[in-house]
Amino acid sequence: MSDSRIYIPNRIYFRIGDVAEILRVKPYVIRFWESEFPFLAPDKATSGQRVYRRSQIESLILVKHLLHVERYSIEGAKKKLTELRKQAKLKEAMLSLVRTDEDAPLAGNAANATLGTEKAPAVAVGSTVDKNQIDALKSKLEDLQKFIREPAQQGIEVRGLKKLD
C-alpha cells in the first residue's frame, strides 16, 4: 500500500509554481481555490508574486483532499471545514494528510543539497563526517539565517512584519 500523504519540503516560503508541483495541480486551480476559500489567500512578494507558508500549503492539501478524494462540492467542502474548525479538529485533519521529514525519502546528500529542500543523511554516532559536508551545511545555515532576518532582501514582503532598523 502506497503512502498518499503529501510531503512538504522544509522551507519558509513557496511560490505558486512550487505549491502547484507539491499538490500536483495547475497554478490556476490554486488561484481558483483562493477565490472560493478566502483563508487560503497567500502573502505577496514585492514583485506581486504569491508566496505561501507551510500552514497555507497544509490548508490547500486539505481542500484538495476534500474536493478530489472525498468528492465534496465547493459548498460541501466549506461546510466540512467549518465543522472541523468548530470541533477543533482542523489542524489534526490537515496534518494527517502531510508526510513528515522522518517519513520522507532522502533526496541527496548534504554536499549538494539546496537550501531547505533536501534532507541531510543521518550520521551514526562515532562515525566521521567529511569536512566538506560540514562546511556545506554551515553555508546553508548562514544563508537560511540571512533569509530569515531579511525576507525583504529576498523580494518577499510579509504582512505584519516590522522592519528592524
Alpha helices in 5-158 (DSSP H): 16-23, 27-36, 54-64, 74-86, 90-95, 131-149
Q: What is the model's pLDDT at position 110?
A: 36
Q: What is the model's pLDDT at position 115?
A: 40
C-beta neighbour count of 6 within 10 angstroms: 17
Q: What is the CATH number of domain 6-99?
A: 1.10.1660.10
Least Cα distance to 60 among 29, 86, 88 occurs for: 29
Q: Residue 35: CB partners within 8 Å, gap ≥ 6? A: none
Report field, pTM of the whole predicted structure over 0.85: no
Model confidence pLDDT, tens digit, residues 86-132: 999 988 888 889 887 665 554 443 333 344 444 445 555 555 667 77
In angstroms, rounded to a whole number, what is the distance separating the alpha carbons of residues 144 and 81? 34
Half-sphere exposure of 62 (CA within 13 A, CB side): 24
Q: What is the model's pLDDT at position 154?
A: 62
- Domain layout of the chain by residue ranges: 6-99, 110-154
Contact by Cβ (8 Å): 61, 6: yes
Q: Which residue has better confidence, 143 or 52?
A: 52
Q: What is the model's pLDDT at position 28?
A: 96
